[in-house]
Structure 1
Amino acid sequence: MATIASAAAASLLDAARSLVPLVEEHAQQGERERRLPDPVARAFRESGIFRMCRPRALGGLEADPLTAMQVIEELSRADGAAGWCAMICGATGVFDAYLPVEGGKEMFASPDVVTAGVFAPSGRAVDLAFTAGGAAALYAESPLQRCFRDVHAVTQHALVAPHTREVQGRVLLGLDTELPMF
């Protein structure tokens, strides 16, 4: 007998599978523009992928971890960047459960709200390897070097840089943020 949770999981996975042709169609556009194309972003939002791990109490689908990973895997097969966007916006919704209830309800009053976040180390080893590789790694066409470049870029992102964590925490707690972000 199927449970409500398993029916919702199957529905979300079916939605991801049905979006594969759209994701594939726009993959090159996303690569050229270096962002998720609007039709794909719209489809992810409308299908619930961007709120798949958000708690039901806040308008999310509260997908279990296995379903979330299967959704991300399906989309990543079609386009790795689109799968990454599904992960960074959809899976991190699990942290929304830690928001104060009233604040969460205010933030997610509309089901169209999309959030993103990440917990990641700063990557000292990646930074050192990137520096040793020289600037040529930024322009290389090798898929491995492109991945290396992208990982390095993520480690330098303001949201994961160590000096911004206190500011992020203060914002989340509603405290004074008189500290510089960068």
Structure 2
Amino acid sequence: MAFSADELRVLRRALATALNPAPLQDEDVQDCLRLAESVDDTVREAGRLRAFLLADLTRYREALPGSLPGYLDLLQDALSAGYDPAADDLAALRALRANPRAAVLLERCQVLAERSVRARLARVSQAVAPVPRARLLALPGGRAAGDQPKPATPKPPTPVKRPAPKPSEVFPPRRRPVPPPPPEERAAG
């Protein structure tokens, strides 16, 4: 993303105000809002462009092997833009590894895919890892030193024996289907 000279002046004023808070003039506020809107537009446009490029990459991949040069160019551009290769990309490149350029891209994609999987696993393991509990500290006004309770002695576990369930409890008897009434009774009803 590149800023114009005017946008850089607005950004510099906004940063200076953030560091040294002072009342802003209405014109400065409007400039900051316009700059924020421009940045938001740029981010949205980048998202649309990324979606278009990924859809184009998918179309070229589905048209392989006839679209090999275009697919390799698009994949290389997507990788340069931060795209993590999908399983379909790896499968397509494996099928095309006789092409030297596809073989080089396959090696690069395998490294990127492995790195991506490791990063996802690290995020999952960090999210699942238990948070260490804080140590409880005594608050002023609590029990005096002589009022401390004695530590409880642990009781030995007592295993509870349960009777084995009967087959009729586990598998209840099946009910037989009721036969439909004869046609005479249905017509009379």
Does TM, scored on the shorter chain, surpass 0.5?
no
Query: Based on CA coordinates, which of the two structures has the bigger radius of gyration?
Result: 2
Name the TM-score, length of structure 2 as normaliser.
Answer: 0.24
The two structures have a TM-score, normalised by structure 1, of: 0.25
Higher relative CO (Cα under 8 Å, sequence separation at least 6) belongs to 1
